[in-house]
Amino acid sequence: MFQYVLHCFGDDDCVKILRRCKEAIPARDAGGKVIIINMVIGSGSQRDIFKETQVLFDLYMMYIDGVEREEKEWENIFSKAGFSAYKIMPILGFLSIIEVYP
């Protein structure tokens, strides 16, 4: 599980990290998955209170030279890392839980 971590890394490093995860976890039918808690731009609550927090996160991303991603960008990373499917659950305010399956 990666919580607030992958947005610290560029796409190529995310692919490397997730490839290693895929090597380490069981097959999907045996319960294997990677859980990511991060922002998915365009998903999540649009309530003003969360938009304000999102702006603070944007400042944090500038500070750490990080990146928040849209679904297409996440999908591209998961596919390059060799994963077959994913599910985005936008249930944590402006954050989402993403399950990624081998």
Ligand X SMILES: C[S@@+](CC[C@H](N)C(=O)[O-])C[C@H]1O[C@@H](n2cnc3c(N)ncnc32)[C@H](O)[C@@H]1O
Beta carbon of residue 13, minimum distance to ligand X (angstroms, whole number)? 8
**For residues 30 and 63, which CB has a smaller minimum distance to ligand X in the complex?**
63
Q: Measured from the CB of residue 5, what is the shortest distance to ligand X in angstroms?
A: 5
Q: Which of 7, 14, 36, 81 is catalytic?
A: 7
Rounded CA-CA distance 89/37 in Å is 10
Binding site for ligand X (CB under 6 A): 3-5, 8
Which residues touch 23 (CB under 8 Å, ≥6 apart)?
Answer: none
Q: Is 41 within 8 Å of 68 (Cβ atoms)? A: yes
Instruction: Verify whether residue 7 is a known catalytic residue.
Output: yes
Nearer to ligand X, 5 or 28 (CB): 5
> How near is the Cβ of 4 to ligand X at its closest, in Å?
4
- Interhelix angle 71-80/11-24, rounded to 10 degrees, is 50
